[in-house]
Structure 1
Amino acid sequence: MKLKRFFALALTAMTALPALAATPVKFTLDWKFEGPAAAYLVALEKGYYKDAGLDVTIDSGKGSLDAIPKVASGTYQFGFADINSLIKFKDQNPNSELKGILMVYDKPPFAIIGSKQTGVAKPKDLEGKTLGAPAPDGAYAQWKAFTDVTGINPSEVNIDNVSFAVRESMLVQKRVDAITGYSFSSFLNLRKIGLPAEDINVMLMADYGLKLYGNTILVNPEFAKQNPELVKGFVKATIKGWQYAVAHPEESIQYVIERNKIAKKAVETQRLQMCIDDNVVTDNVKANGFGGVDSARMAEAIDQVGLTYDFKNKPTPEAVFTEEFLPAKSEREL
């Protein structure tokens, strides 16, 4: 009896022990809770991050530049940011060990958007026309490189520094002939204000010679040094989130709608699907797996960034991105 009682007490004590606490980390997006954010919210709500030993808080961002200083300073352990902005940051901060660890947008959404009404359907159509471009716009930042690779004479294009708020409406009103923007955002904004889909001409810059990559997951260097297995877990869970979102886009959008009360399910589902089709599941990703980069292409991309930016401490591909936290290719198929 005493032996039975001993084992009973021992079993009670073991079951009463708390589970190992998950490590709290903060992850900042590049923008609002919209369609492409679904993958990260899936990973959160379905417990993929929790299974990796992480208690993740996801916050919205204020642009692709916003995440870089937040992660570099350690305010956030992870962030989602434009790698071309990271290249410039590394040039300005050559001692920083901040790197991308998971390439999400194999093809960036940087685009020139014209319309049937203004007669802009291909790059050369811009000559003799007016381009509406907000000065801080990520797509407009690539303009000099775009003109270089397409042979556009930039002196023949009038640039109107419009605001983000009126960019699409000015195109509809034909006050400008084309605009710069993110493909999935500007397309849906134009549809929202009444321009038919068949009248919208989206030119992805990557389809016309730009070798640039797009947004990547960043990790704080000190956190990565101290917690390499947790970083691998975060990456693997994020990949699972994207795999689920690609396979189940409509279901995944419910998590966006829960975070963004003014978002429309149909619109955000379409935004996510456009992002998947144009930026995430590319031919390269189908062949080589999601999340990695090609060093030769990255070197070309850095050179193209140099067409729009004067380097003082030009970074190498290895200084900008590392694949050390990626799982095997077989686990990165989309």
Structure 2
Amino acid sequence: MLKHIVLAGAVATAASAASAQTEMPFALDWKFEGPAAPYTHAVDAGLFEAQGLSVSITEGAGSLDAIPKVATGAFPVGFADINSVMRFLDQNPDAPVMPVMMVYDKPPFAVVGRISQGVSEPADLEGRTLGAPPPDGAWAQFPIFAAENDLDVDAITVEPVGFPTREPMLAQGEVDAVTGFSFSSTLNLIRLGVPEEDISVILMADYGVDLYGNAIIVNTDFAEANPEAVTGFLTAIAQGWQQAIDNPDAAIEALLKRNPAADADLEKRRLQLAIDANVMTEYVGENGMGNIDPERFAAAIEQTKTVYEFQNEPDAAKFFDDSYLPAGDVLMLK
């Protein structure tokens, strides 16, 4: 009888521990490619579990994809372009969605072209065909890029393309350049057999676009009800990035479990490109991951005003909330 009582108690304790795990499904912006490895690794390494969270990760279909998923409450957390969130909130001021942790301190928005087709710098786009997926985050920022570089947009033929056909069309010469994330389009072209020396990567951040990139976003109703869970989630995110930096092979191994068809070396290189160019910036090295520079963010809002007419007077406090970021040195990546 005592044995049965002890066993029943152990089962009850285990069930209680399992039920204590807060469910937090996470909506990505894109597919299971290299830059998603820190998140899949955080799941497999138990980093979320250590924070009392049960996290599942779902692929996305572009930079705009996660915003409505989180705003509707279908997902409590997601990964999305902060500039697109800003416009979404301007048009839907009561929507319960908010960026809470910056990941791409330097955005990967880019125009990727073929040198053999005459595209090496911004001015080369005039008179040529640009492939742009309508939901693409880089395409959303193209008007700012065009304005900063005095491009005659009427002289550019814009071809709406799908994500699956974007790089193949460029590889086949059907378009002369495409908008996309630098690490995605570049390596997709290499995988398709385009010689690396024939690829030009025009990073918008190097040509006058002073914006931030993708951030972790939360459903604010969920966050207000579960503040410790959100902080725990962000803690595990930072730990996942640090461990991916320290051991990219282990991070890519976790990614390949979700995408067995992926090329390990290619995705490892894609991850490293994101780390070097977008995550581990000088600002992050000095201040840690996750927060923003208020002056830079204010400048980004002003720049957005040049190509987008806000329906309401923009307020930076309505577009980013740092109150859920973990304290201590967990955000200091090295």
- The reply to whether TM is greater than 0.5 is yes
Q: Which amino acid aligns with 1:156?
A: A
Whether the 8 Å contact between 2:41 and 2:250 is mirrored in structure 1 is no
Q: Deviation per CA, 1:61-87, whole angstroms, max 9, x where unpaired? A: 222222112212221111111111111
1:1-16 alignment, distance < 5 Å:
none
Query: Residues 160, 67 of structure 1: CA spacing in aligned structure 2 closer, same or farther, 3 A cutoff?
Result: closer
Contact 2:62-2:136 at 8 Å conserved across structures: no
Displacement, 1:205?
A: 0.5
Q: Measure the CA separation in 1 of the matches of 2:193 and 2:38.
A: 29
Contact 1:26–1:58 (8 Å) recurs in 2? yes
Q: CA–CA distance in 2 between the matches of 1:277 and 1:328?
A: 24
Equivalent residue, structure 2, for 1:263 = 262
Provide the rounded CA distance (Å) in 2 between the counterparts of 1:155 and 1:185: 27
**Which letter maps to 1:124?**
A
2:191 maps to what in 1?
192
- Secondary structure of 2:135's counterpart equals coil
Query: TM-score w.r.t. structure 2 length?
Result: 0.91
1:48 aligns to what? 47
Post-superposition offset of 1:208: 1.0
Q: Counterpart of 1:29?
A: 28
Matched, 1:120 2:119: yes
Instruction: State the partner residue of 2:84.
Output: 85
In structure 2, the residue matched to 1:134 is 133
1:18 equivalent to 2:18? Answer no
CA contact (8 A) 1:113 1:202 kept: yes
Aligned to 1:159, the other structure's residue is in SS state strand
Aligned-partner Cα distance in 2 for 1:326–1:146: 31
Deviations 1:242-274 (A, max 9, x none): 110111112210111111122121121111111
Q: 1:195 to 1:208 in 2, by over 3 A?
A: same
Q: Distance in 2 between matches of 1:25 and 1:223?
A: 10
Could you tell me whether the CA contact under 8 Å between 2:234 and 2:325 is conserved in 1?
yes
SS at match of 1:139: helix
Q: How does 1:223-302 map to 2 (within 5 A)?
A: 223-302=222-301
Task: State whether residues 64 and 137 of structure 2, in contact with CA within 8 Å, keep that contact through their aligned partners in structure 1.
Answer: no
Per-residue deviation, residues 127-181 of structure 1 (Å, max 9, x unmatched): 3333222333221221211011122232333323344333323333434322211
Aligned position for 1:3: none
Residue 330 of structure 1 aligns to a residue whose secondary structure is: coil
Distance 1:9 1:155 in 2: 79
The 8 Å contact of residues 64 and 135 in structure 2, kept in 1 or not, is answered as no
- Aligned residue in 1 for 2:147: 148
Deviation string 1:7-66 (CA, Å, 9 cap, x unpaired) is x99999986761532122211111221111111111111111111111112222222222
Residues 162 and 55 of structure 1, relative CA distance in 2, 3 Å threshold: closer
Amino acid at match of 2:13: P
Structure with greater Cα Rg:
1
2: CA distance between counterparts of 1:241 and 1:169? 32
Instruction: Say if 2:232 and 2:326, in contact at 8 Å, map to a contact too.
Output: no
Kept in 2: contact 1:98–1:320 (CA 8 A): no
Root-mean-square deviation (CA), in Å?
Answer: 2.3
Secondary structure of the residue that 1:100 maps to in structure 2?
Answer: strand
